[in-house]
Amino acid sequence: MNYLEGLNDAQKLAVLAKDGPISVLAGAGSGKTRVLTTRIYHLIREGIPANQILAVTFTNKSAREMRARVRTMLGEENLSESPFVATFHGLGRELLEKYGKVIGVPRFFSVYDRDDSEKAIAAALKALDVDTKELSPRAVLGRISRAKGEGMRANEFYEKNARSGFGARITAEVWLRYEKTLAAEKSLDFDDLIALPVRMLQEHADVRALAQDRWQYLHIDEYQDTNALQGRLTNILAEKHRNLFVVGDIDQTIYTWRGATIENLLEFDKKYPESQTIILERNYRSTKNLVDAANAVIEKNKNRKEKYSTTEQAAGESIVVHMARSAEDEARWIALKIRELMKKGTKPEDIAILFRTNFQSRALEEGLLRAGVPYKLLGTHFFARKEVKDALAWIRLAMEPTREVDKLRAAASPPRGIGKVTLGKLAAGQRSLLRAGELAKVEQFELIIAELSQAASALTPSAFVRLVIEKSGMRRALFEEGSAEDRERFENVEEIASVAARHDENVGKEGIAAFLAESALASDQDELDQGEKTGVTLMTVHAAKGLEFGTVFVSGMEEGLFPHQGMGGEKDRDEEEERRLFYVAMTRAKDRLFLTLARVRKIYGTDTAAEPSSFLADIDNSLVLLDETEDHDIFF
């Protein structure tokens, strides 16, 4: 059992605990991913068929990393099947693709991303003559998403809210129209990928039995971030064999605002009275000063399970706190401090700047640009870029030629003289009303789609993407005839083939559907895998969850900003969640942590005097170094 070498006693206990429900409370940097992958390997070595093992993570990035680690551990061992490792949405997609026909889900369905959903809801609001300034599509989608997360259906919501206030009533009517749009497009949205599998498993005992026997050993990572419906899906799948292994850290619960419920982990031993609890407290990531400071911050929370991180690492550098005069001065100081670190040999890729709210990024970007520090800003997904969405529309259209949304986008990308009016006539069955020139363009467009649709059955996903790029005319429009900017955009289009290649083991529509699902479910962290740009990483603290960097700057450490007060004042703030969020920010750092703030910050156009964050007072003075240098003093 040499694969157990290097594990501490608690980690070994978790790896070797084979049967029954087990909860692992894993502190930051405690090696939980190693525990999960080693346990999966151990189960296979113990004779458990690999295809009976399920592991669920929260991002595509972490799922890919876990699959790669398991494959590396298995080495040359001859396995006809592999463990199924996916996100919750990936698991939902798998269940619906395999068994969804019992509830009317088509075999090859598309997945609406948030942008698609907001556009469909905007169209429904327009049809109801509702001004989107009065009720935004994003707000309506958020309300629908929360209701779906609670297991509610559109008809139930309508019956409950048809006579309610304006917002709820309009949302109910929009939801009914939205469901019709999804059905017509043979599509589902993010929330359907959880809600529909739960409904299917609850209503169809035969399917439930098949799913429970398919995966007899379940592993759920980041269990503290599951919502009620994800918890229900987990419990249904584990109900028969009860081999459920969950890993989480209540101190890192930072997503209650989008439905995560801390109770899934807090009450695990009540749901499973026979369960075993294992605590991983040794931090392998951060220096002792950082671990001690993080402990001091998080122990103030009351709604948690007792856990105290320890480390055998050296004390390391003090935590640097710097107060600047303004947000612009804060940004300049950070940029120049990074330049100083880079001169001493620190790689920019090992540095992150974290912020609590998105508006802070503007000043930070300007500071880095002026200092000549390379950076990348997480937040604009690779798959959300216009040229990438254009190519994806062509790919989806080849898979399902009836999708009107994709027809509109593909017909205009690149332009071929087919407008919305022409496509509207086609959708209304008025083909005979088209003029000869219009009809010729439409027929040529349809011929390309038909050719691609036929080719999709025989090509690998990456080869199919390359064919789409050629046949659609995107190569000609962007690369051969385009501007320098267009050619840069074409590089993003080409990158789609590289992403699709991850699914090349499945030739034909199966592999293409898997690639499309990955593209729809991409997260901020997937941007880090594109490798197109190097430099310091800028992102929100929420986006940094699960990542680590040698040096971390946390900006905006001001009362009302972090902890964040919100638009509704004190009543809008969950202090314990804000404290957990700060704990997550601190524990991203391995070696150095800088906490910065401004005396005055412009918020909503008004200069606002700031007080230091109350969280700073939680850190013992012996762990802190107050840096009072001005930005111009660093080099001059």
**Residues in Cβ contact with 575 at an 8 Å cutoff, skipping those fewer than 6 apart:** 563
Highest mean pLDDT among 303-312, 424-433, 561-570: 303-312
Residue pair 372/342 in contact by the 8 Å Cβ criterion: no
Q: Residue 239 catalytic?
A: no
Residue pair 397/449 in contact by the 8 Å Cβ criterion: yes
DSSP-derived pairing of the beta strands 589-603 and 606-609: antiparallel
Residue pair 28/309 in contact by the 8 Å Cβ criterion: yes
Annotated catalytic residue, options 173, 191, 222, 292: 222
CA distances from 395 to 292, 332, 455, 515, 630 (A): 51, 44, 11, 10, 53
Q: What is the dihedral of CA 235, 238, 239, 243, to 10 degrees?
A: -130
Q: Residue 189 catalytic?
A: no
Residue pair 294/587 in contact by the 8 Å Cβ criterion: yes
Q: Residue 252 catalytic?
A: yes
| CB-neighbour burial class of residue 166 (10 A; exposed 0-12, middle 13-18, buried 19+) | exposed
Q: Tell me which residue of 237, 299, 292 sits closest to 88, measured CA to CA.
A: 237
Q: Tell me which residue of 584, 540, 546 sits closest to 63, measured CA to CA.
A: 546
Reading the block at residue 558, the tokens are 């001001």
The pLDDT confidence band at residue 379, using thresholds 50, 70 and 90, is low
The pLDDT confidence band at residue 486, using thresholds 50, 70 and 90, is confident
Verdict on whether the full-model pTM lies above 0.95: no
For residue 519, the one-letter residue type is S
* Vertex 372 angle, CA 371 and 376, to 5°: 110
Could you give the CA distance from residue 102 to residue 547 in angstroms, rounded to a whole number? 40
Residues of 77-110 as b/e, b for ≥16 C-beta within 10 angstroms? eeeeeebbbbbbbbbbbbbbbebbeeeebeeebb
pLDDT tens track for 456-480:
999 999 999 999 999 999 998 888 8
Annotated catalytic residue, options 38, 87, 234, 252: 252
Annotated catalytic residue, options 179, 191, 221, 387: 221
Q: Residue 588 catalytic?
A: yes
Annotated catalytic residue, options 11, 12, 32, 285: 32
Annotated catalytic residue, options 588, 590, 592, 601: 588
CA distances from 9 to 3, 196, 472 (A): 14, 41, 58
Q: Residue 407 catalytic?
A: no
Asked whether the predicted pLDDT for residue 568 surpasses 50, the reply is: no
pLDDT tens track for 17-63:
999 999 999 988 999 889 999 999 999 989 999 999 999 998 888 88
Residues 499-520 have a mean pLDDT of 85
pLDDT tens track for 265-291:
888 999 999 999 999 999 999 999 999
Annotated catalytic residue, options 33, 132, 256, 357: 33
Neighbours of 377 (CB within 10 A): 18
Helix, strand or coil for residue 98? helix
